Amino acid sequence: MTRFAAPIAEQIWDMKYRFKQADGKPIDQTVEDSWRRIARDLAKVEKQPDVWEEKFYSALEDFKYLPAGRITAGAGTARNVTLFNCFVMGTIPDSMAGIFDMLKEAALTMQQGGGIGYDFSTIRPRGADVKGVAADASGPLSFMDVWDAMCRTIMSAGSRRGAMMATMRCDHPDIEYFITAKSDPARLRMFNMSVLVSDAFMEAVKNDGSWELKFGDKVYSTIEARDLWNKIMQSTYDYAEPGVIFIDRINTMNNLNYCEDISATNPCGEQPLPPYGACLLGSINLARLVSNPFEANAELNDEVLNDLVATAVRMMDNVVDASRFPLPEQAQEAQNKRRIGLGVTGLADALLMLGLQYGSEKAAVQTEVWMKAIARASYLASVELAKEKGAFPLFDKDKYVNGGLVAHMDDDVKEAIAEHGIRNALLTSIAPTGTISLYAGNVSSGIEPVFAYAYTRKVLQKDGSRTEEEVVDYAVQMWRDKFGDKELPDYFVNAQTLAPAAHVRMQAAAQKWIDSSISKTINCPEDISFDEFKDVYMQAWDTGCKGCTTYRPNDVTGSVLAVSETAENAPGEKPEDHVTDGEVIYMSEPLERPQSLEGATYKLKWPDSEHAIYLTVNDVIINGHRRPFEVFINSKNMEHYAWTLALTRMISAVFRRGGDVSFVVEELKAVFDPRGGAWMEGKYIPSILAAIGGVIERHMINIGFIEGEGMGLKTDPKAEVIAVGEAPRGKACPSCGQFDMRMIEGCMTCGSCGHSKCG
C-alpha cells in the first residue's frame, strides 16, 4: 500500500523531497523514510529524543503536518543548506559602499536558496545631489537592475531559481518610476514588487487629498493622492504588479512593534520581516483532519487539531536551532525572536467536506473559527515551551501582552503569556503551498479555492514518450470514492467562477487570527472594469487585510488555463470543473532538417589562442517563430577538434528536440576553466565554453527566441497546439512544458510539476 493519494504526489516527492546520493541513488526508499529522517533530526535537541521522534513522526504521517519544502528536503541530510524559507535583508545604506555590501549579502543568501526581500526606499532618488563627487544620484531603480543581474548570475551558476521582493514607500520621490518599471517586459524579471502604502496615504486617497513625495527632510513634489493610487492600480491592472502592502497596519498588529520596524516582506508577502529577519514555514493540512466528510455530522475535531498544532509548533521551534544561516546577523535575529510561521493548506477542500461553498459568508465564519483555534493552540503551545525551555530573549511582558495580535487574544491566553512568557514571538502565517499541496495528494493550496477539480497532465516517460494521467482534486476524489457517479453538489465552486469579493472575504476572515500575513491571489476576470478592479483593493483595505495581490489574465500577463467547453466531464461536473490542456503535440521526436536554413556565423577570438573559432547557428521556423535548429563550430586549431565536434553534435541534437533550449546557454556560461578565463569586451568570461555560450545567447536574442541576457523564452515555440474546445492561452511551464501555469498565492506555479517562479 502506498501512502500517496495520487501518482503526482509520489512524483513530486521523488523529484523534490526524497533524499538521494549525489549520483541520484535514493537514500529514502519510501516516504516513511523521509518522515523518519525529518522526525529524528528535529527531535535530537529534546531531552527525550526517542519519545519526541515518535510524536513528530505521527504528525508527519499521512501528510497531516507539512513542513515547508526546505525542511522536508533538507532536515537530517547534513547538507549545508538553510531550512528557513525567507529572509528580509539589512537596511540598504544610502552610499555606494553600503549598497554593494548589501548586494554581497544578498548573493550569499540566495546561494543557499533563501528568498529575500529588500526595501529600496532608503536610497536617494534619481537626480538628487551626491555630495563630494559633483554628480547626481541614479536612483534606487538603477541599483535594482544590479540586484536583478546578480540574481540571474546566481541562477546561471546552478543554484535554484532566485526569488526577490522589492518594496518602496508610497512617498518616495521615485515611486512613479517604481510603479511602472515592469511595463518593460525585459526589466526586473527576478523581482516581485510591492508598494508600501501607509494609513495616511489611504486616508488621502479616500478624502481626495494631496500627497508629498519626499526623501529625508526634503519635499521633492506634491501630487494628488488619488492620481498616484490610480497609477498603482493601472499598472497592477495591466501588468499584475506592483502589489500593495498596508505597511502601517502590519507594524501596528506586529507583536514585536516595541522592538522592531518592518518595511519589507519575503517574496510572496506572507512574512513581513525586520532587517535580517528570517522565518520558517509549515502548514496544517485541514483536508486530512475532517471526519465523516460530506455527511451531516462532518466535523474537524478540535482536540485532534490542538494536539497537531502543539506538535508542529515544537518541531518548528527546534528548526530554529537545527538550521544553518547564510549570515550571522540572520542567525542572531532568528535566535532573539524565534519567529515561526505555522499556516494551513487544504482549507477549500475541508470546507467542501463540510458542505460549505468557498467564499460564502458561512465559509468565512468557519474559516475564522478554525484560524482562531489554530492561533490559540499555537500560542498556548509556545507558552508550554517557554515553561520548559525559556521565553524568546527579547520578550517584554507588559509590551508584548498589550500589543499586536496578542492584545486581541482571549484573556486566558494573555494571562498564560504574562505568567510564563512565550517561546516564539510570532507564530502564524499562511504561505504558498503549491508544491507541498501536490505532494499531499493535490489538496487545495493554502487558503486558495480549488483551481480546477480535475485536469489532464501529460507525463514524460524515460523513453521520451508521454502518457496522460488525470489529476483530481483531493476532495473531489474523496467524493468519487464515496458516492461514485453521483452529481457534485452546487457548493463545489472553483477559482474560475468565484467573484473577487469572495476572495477578499476569505482573506479577511483568515487574517484576523494570523499574526504575520497571508499569501493569497485574488483572481479577477479579464473583462473586469478598471473601477471594479480598484474596488477590490479598497475592499481589502476596508476589511482589515494587510496587503492585496490580484491576477487579471490579459495579453501582457498571460492567462490561466482555458476551460474546454467540449471536453468530456465526469458525471455531475460542470464544464468549468474539468480543465483540459488541449491536444498538445510536443517535439519529442527530432524534426527533420529542411532543405535550406537561414543562419548567422560568428567569429570568436579567444585570447592566447592561435586560431579563431567560427560558430554558425542555423534556425528553423515553427508556427511563425524562429528558433535555433543546429550549430556548427569550426577551428583550425586541431587541439579543439574532438571537443568542438562533440559539442556541435550534442547542442544540435538538443536544439532539434524542441522546447526551451535556452538552458544550453546557461549551462555553457556556467563552465569555469581551472586554468583561468579571460576578459572580453569589458567582461570576465570564465572559459572558452562560456564564451561560446555567450555567442549562442546573443544569437537567440537577435532572432527573438529569448528576451535578453539571462532571460527565458520570449515566445513559446515549444509545441504546436491543436485545440479541443478553446486551447490554453497561458504560458508553458519552463520546467516540464505543460500548459499548466497558474497564479497561486502570488506566484506563477505549475500544477503539473510544482515549478514556481518563487522557487
Are 408 and 518 within one domain? yes
What are 270's three cell numbers? 506572507
Are 69 and 98 within one domain? no
Question: Can you give the residue range of the structural domain that contains 444?
Answer: 1-83+280-452+469-523
Are 337 and 386 within one domain? yes
pLDDT given at position 597: 85
**Contact indicator for 212, 206 with CB cutoff of 8 Å:** no
Catalytic: which of 53, 270, 333, 697? Answer: 270
> Could you tell me if residue 583 is inside a domain?
no
Q: What is the pTM of this model?
A: 0.78
CA distance 179 to 175: 6
The residue from 502, 523, 544 where one domain ends is: 523
Are 115 and 130 within one domain? yes
> Could you tell me if residue 536 is inside a domain?
no
Query: Please, what is the Cα angle at 560 between 437 and 502, to 5 degrees?
Result: 70
CA distance 14 to 543: 42
Please name the residue that has the C-alpha cell 549545508: 80
Segment holding 74, helix H or strand E: helix 69-74
| Total domain count, the chain | 3
Low-confidence ranges of the chain (pLDDT < 70): 1, 132-135, 154-162, 459-466, 554-592, 608, 623-624, 638-640, 657-660, 674-675, 709-740, 745-746, 751-755, 757-759
The residue from 252, 270, 289 where one domain ends is: 252
Are 514 and 643 within one domain? no
> Could you tell me if residue 267 is inside a domain?
no
pLDDT given at position 373: 98
Are 45 and 77 within one domain? yes
> Could you tell me if residue 31 is inside a domain?
yes
Are 501 and 365 within one domain? yes
- Dihedral class, residue 753 (left if φ above 0, else alpha if ψ from -120 to 50, else beta): alpha
Are 10 and 65 within one domain? yes
Indicate which CATH number applies to the domain containing 515. Answer: 3.20.70.20
Are 361 and 499 within one domain? yes
Taking all residues of the chain, what is their mean pLDDT, rounded to a whole number? 85
Are 345 and 445 within one domain? yes
Catalytic: which of 86, 151, 268, 758? Answer: 268
Residue 688, SS3?
helix
> Could you tell me if residue 574 is inside a domain?
no
Task: Give pLDDT tens digits for 529-541.
Answer: 999 999 999 999 9
Per the DSSP assignment, residues forming a β-bridge with 300 are 290
Are 75 and 99 within one domain? no
Are 292 and 397 within one domain? yes
Catalytic: which of 251, 254, 266, 494? Answer: 266
Task: Give pLDDT tens digits for 474-520.
Answer: 999 999 999 998 999 999 998 878 999 999 999 999 999 999 999 99
Cβ neighbors of 458 (< 8 A, separation 6 or more) are 466, 467, 468, 581, 584, 586, 738, 752
Helices (H) and strands (E) in the chain, counts: 23, 31
> Could you tell me if residue 575 is inside a domain?
no
Nearest residue to 398 via CA among 516, 259, 511: 259
Residue 268 annotated as catalytic:
yes
pLDDT given at position 307: 98
> Could you tell me if residue 130 is inside a domain?
yes
Residue 270 annotated as catalytic:
yes
> Could you tell me if residue 617 is inside a domain?
yes
Task: Give pLDDT tens digits for 596-648.
Answer: 788 899 988 887 677 788 889 998 887 667 888 889 888 777 666 777 788 88
